Amino acid sequence: MTPGYRELRGCAIAACIAFVTGGAVARDGAGRGPADLYLRVCSACHGEKGNGQSLASGALKTAPRDFTTEAARTGLSREYMIAIVRDGRPHTAMAGRASRLPQDEVEAVVDFIRAAFLPPEPGTELALGRALYRRSCASCHGDRGQGGAARGAIPSSPPVSAARARPGLTAEAIAGAILREPHAPGIPASTSGFAEPEARAIAAYIRSAFIEAAAGARKAQ
């Protein structure tokens, strides 16, 4: 029987409580990427998309942080985020993880959040790439590069975030695919209308927010 909303919400709340009390996992094993780490210890409250929208969020007295806002970009320094993950925030559900995560994993999950969810600096190539990706690419490739289901004559869109599964997704390869005519089987030619600098900006954003973030590449911000 498919679980109903109450059962799913109850599971999410239980997962969040387990995270807060330190009972979700004994310890995250070596070799786990930062994306996996985020999903295991953060997403129950902050959501898989980092926007604070999770089934557990309604049960929390203090709303989880939405990392996707401009306020998060301007107000959250890397040092502050590391301190919060390590030590927690009093009077909120954000419990410190110092006893359960080594410092390198604390820093890795913070760097993932910053690269994957925080908006890029306005006026930069990454900001342009993010805007163009959301406008023209996300409807098929997914808002997090996860791919999309087939729609009519358009074939299922592949993910652009699987760095380990698709190591050939360099910035040059992605930009070339964006400019290729036709872009993909079933897609009419000349539908993208991107100039080469725009294609490079989209490729840079995909690499930064989806591929390098998941692989653990640290961003200087």
pLDDT digits (tens, 9 = 90+) for 24-54: 333 433 446 888 899 988 988 899 889 988 7
221 found inside a domain: no
Q: Tell me: pLDDT of 220 over 50.
A: no
Cα separation values, 36 from 42, 56, 84, 139, 218, Å:
10, 19, 19, 24, 16
The pTM (predicted TM-score) of the whole model is: 0.75
Q: What total number of domains does the chain contain? A: 2
Identify the CA nearest to 40 among candidates 8, 9, 18: 18
Cα separation values, 195 from 114, 133, 175, 189, 206, Å:
28, 14, 10, 14, 17
**Model pLDDT for residues 195-207, shown as the tens digit of each residue:** 999 999 999 999 9
- 98 and 136 share one domain: no
* Per-residue model confidence (pLDDT) at position 60: 79
Q: Which residue has the higher pLDDT, 214 or 156?
A: 214
Q: Which of 64, 91, 116 is the last residue of a domain?
A: 116
Ordered DSSP codes for 113-135 = HHHHTSPPPTTSHHHHHHHHHHH
Identify the CA nearest to 23 among candidates 31, 15, 12: 15
Q: Residue 216: left (phi > 0), alpha (psi -120 to 50), or beta?
A: left
- 109 and 149 share one domain: no
Average pLDDT, the chain: 77
List Cβ neighbours of 171 (8 Å cut-off, separation of 6 or more). 200, 203, 204, 207
Helices assigned H by DSSP within the chain: 5-21, 34-41, 43-46, 70-75, 78-87, 103-116, 125-136, 138-141, 171-179, 196-206, 213-215
Q: How confident is the model at residue 218 (pLDDT cuts 50, 70, 90)?
A: low
- 149 and 98 share one domain: no
With a pLDDT cut of 70, the percent of the chain lying above it is 70
- 11 and 94 share one domain: yes
Q: Tell me: pLDDT of 130 over 90.
A: yes
With a pLDDT cut of 90, the percent of the chain lying above it is 38
CATH number of domain containing 209: 1.10.760.10
**Model pLDDT for residues 68-125, shown as the tens digit of each residue:** 999 999 999 999 999 999 999 988 888 899 988 999 999 999 999 999 999 999 999 9
Q: Which residue has the higher pLDDT, 106 or 221?
A: 106
- 110 and 151 share one domain: no
* Domain of 20, in residue numbers: 5-116
* Per-residue model confidence (pLDDT) at position 125: 97
Angle formed at CA 55 by CA 23 and CA 209, multiple of 5 degrees: 85
Hey, what's the torsion of the CAs at 149, 55, 94, 22, to 10 degrees? -90
Q: Which of 10-24, 60-74, 118-132 holds the top average pLDDT?
A: 118-132
* Per-residue model confidence (pLDDT) at position 189: 54
